[in-house]
Structure 1
């Protein structure tokens, strides 16, 4: 059989340690961490080098077998899960986990795709630098995965998303060729910037095997505050005020609805309400500086005092030590986990212009509650870049199945509101398989035609992560 020959040929490339064909051992690669998506595979291949990746891809290309690239498998849209045919090859990059080079003079670090984000952060810290991208899955997500989805996280406001943090890539193309674009250049005006084709492409155009990423001076002082607000409009006013008074020291500005915080308080150990009174909205603000004594606490207090006078802020507390800072971030990072305790949640990762956030939330909330009375709306996100996680939990006491059956209709209400405010149906999670059909309805047809043309040019056989994005 074809697969038997392919298995033998691939084993010659990666060795026994790089090949999994046993059904039980393959299981962890065939479903996502939420068990929302699952599939089957002919085999799981775990190459240990770029050359091995290229050789495996060439063999699959010659055999007309589809390849599904996979990193830490922490995605939310099923982008790294094979289909149900059992004919696809899952190619896991987790063995490619080397820090290849650190160049403090150029403020760059070169890493392989399987490096876990937290290990990348620690490698930067060891040389007194900062790799600023941070998100809830940083202990398990990998560089390849966060590049493939152009992840953002909590510090986009100051440092940008993964696209902004990347200078060069190494990519195995669908036919097995290796494009070596590992250049640590901040200026290279010699034509099309090819790396941007692969960032955010979710493995549909090629497999990212390594990257040159930007480093920054490590902050030596940080101050964090938890602030209560009367409305989302107040959040937009407050971030403008903070930017005006703190400049680029403003590193994080995370907004959370009361429902979001309530779930965390009810379900995450050690997280409690910080104010005696309940407020409709909260923000977590973080400012940082490379100076050890930058006067950040005074700066933040001054800005918040101004906000109190303008009646933008209702209450506030500034963390006085690292334990309190960790406690504040635990509330923000605990929302997704806490929502799972309330039954199935329908997760939506949208973006709109920052100024449109209040109007979007008002329109989407109103329409949802009209059509689906009792649903609980868990809205939170990175206000500075317009990215909202707009998640829906079932009404109290209702059954799971009827709620899940409404997922498509609920999604349409949210995406219609997103389109109304010139937004995007995916801000940082990608399209994967969950939003592929929605993209047809909500993206400009010409954009989709151009995307398909690029896909056809680079992957004419359609073997690279088929069924995802397009």
Structure 2
């Protein structure tokens, strides 16, 4: 391995090949639940350096683990415990290579932080609509590798739908330049979509060309309280009919999720949670005027109140109030962390089936583990629910999770399958869910995925042991 380390130093420089015991920021997952050990961390500064590093590792038959902001929740971008894998950090590759206002595209390197990309688009008078809680530290390469979702998928789609082209280094160290930014290209297999969502198992994404949208003239936020998920679905239907494409966000949160925010961050002043089982956060983006937008949103909510779809509602009166309402939603995960270890599930169900899924899963888990707390929230508009379980009060949360996590997840994933859902909606599979994937995805689909992996990465050097379990 000494020869490989020397080669890597020759490629990127000694200051960008990190070794030793002080690599926790790279080797530990964001939730601090798993830690691996890398042979070294290499930090290339250009696509050419990435290609040379990959070629050197392929020649040495050494595995590579690509990493962006290391904000993932499924331990998919940290090394295993063998001490033999090279962790490749893309954090130095942050450049905005170009912005085409006529084509409405922006081309950025994989290590560009999502928030920096949003700001670059805004400065040019455009919107890049991918938005999620980790946007201040996650990178666009990681967003694409996991096909990230977020709060505006309802209108703009996942990361895949926002991507028009990629630059990728293959497992052999070759470079595929597909950055043209074409909206129509019918010349064979869609390689872009193959690499998006592949979690670093097929190659290293080094740059991307992404869609931009005109900035809306007005954005308004509303908060509504409801008695049930059935009412949330009714409100969603009303909003889609009356607002159309102007509806850009529709987030649902249960009482327990908001109670934790109120408990740990009381300064946020969570509205309406004590009297209602569910609350919804709506966002409307309008290209006409704020007056027009407010009229649409108030008309929607007035009708919903008259029809008893919602119990109460408010429309944010300022940008600050809108920000504060969104901050409540984004603080749920942090409040859970403050409360103690918990069991997280990032699932998707057909929107119409979510109420029935929640009833069935809640009942099965209560029967198995009385006293557990359900912290449910997510992007109801696209069927993505974060179905999380908190330990009973009072109890040792860490001990509870260690003892019951597998049992809880088995019940949840069984219910997901019964309701024609997916066990991973936007966080990926990584290490944590790869064995579950083999239980909940069709054998034909898994064989096709293995065939693709074997064809593109025959030496299995790209993020091995992630996403796929080797066949028996």
TM-score by length of 2: 0.98
Establish whether residue 393 from structure 1 lines up as the match of residue 390 from structure 2: yes
Whole-angstrom distance in 2 between the partners of 1:324 and 1:456: 52
Q: Which residue of 2 aligns with 1:85?
A: 82
Q: 2:20 aligns with which of 19, 22, 45?
A: 22
Q: 1:45 aligns with which of 42, 46, 50?
A: 42
Establish whether residue 364 from structure 1 lines up as the match of residue 337 from structure 2: no
- 1:313-324 matches, cutoff 5 A: 313-324=310-321
Shift of 1:274: 1.7
Whole-angstrom distance in 2 between the partners of 1:8 and 1:276: 59
Q: Which residue of 1 aligns with 2:153?
A: 156
Shift of 1:402: 3.4
Shift of 1:30: 0.3
Does the aligned pair in 1 maintain the 2:166–2:208 contact within 8 Å? yes
Whole-angstrom distance in 2 between the partners of 1:445 and 1:37: 29
Q: 1:415 aligns with which of 413, 437, 455?
A: 413
Q: Deviations over 1:216-241 (max 9, x none)?
A: 00112111111000100001110010
Q: Which residue of 1 aligns with 2:237?
A: 240
Whole-angstrom distance in 2 between the partners of 1:167 and 1:108: 8
Q: Which residue of 2 aligns with 1:331?
A: 328
Does the aligned pair in 1 maintain the 2:202–2:453 contact within 8 Å? yes
Whole-angstrom distance in 1 between the partners of 2:156 and 2:446: 29
Whole-angstrom distance in 1 between the partners of 2:252 and 2:8: 48
TM-score by length of 1: 0.98
Does the aligned pair in 2 maintain the 1:45–1:91 contact within 8 Å? yes
Does the aligned pair in 2 maintain the 1:344–1:404 contact within 8 Å? no
Q: Which residue of 2 aligns with 1:431?
A: 429
Q: Which moved more, 1:298-307 or 1:149-158?
A: 298-307
Does the aligned pair in 1 maintain the 2:104–2:211 contact within 8 Å? yes
Structure 2 unaligned residues grouped into runs of 5+: none
- 1:83-122 matches, cutoff 5 A: 83-122=80-119
Shift of 1:88: 0.3
Q: Deviations over 1:143-182 (max 9, x none)?
A: 0000000001000000001000000000000010011111
Whole-angstrom distance in 2 between the partners of 1:58 and 1:380: 43
Partner of 1:81: helix, strand, or coil? coil
Whole-angstrom distance in 1 between the partners of 2:441 and 2:351: 20
Number of residues of Structure 1 aligned to a counterpart in Structure 2:
467
Shift of 1:296: 1.2
Shift of 1:22: 3.0
Structure 1 unaligned residues grouped into runs of 5+: none
Shift of 1:194: 0.5
Whole-angstrom distance in 1 between the partners of 2:34 and 2:420: 29
Partner of 2:161: helix, strand, or coil? coil
Shift of 1:269: 4.8
Superposition CA RMSD, Å: 1.0
Shift of 1:125: 0.3
Q: Deviations over 1:354-397 (max 9, x none)?
A: 10010111111110111011111111000111000001110001
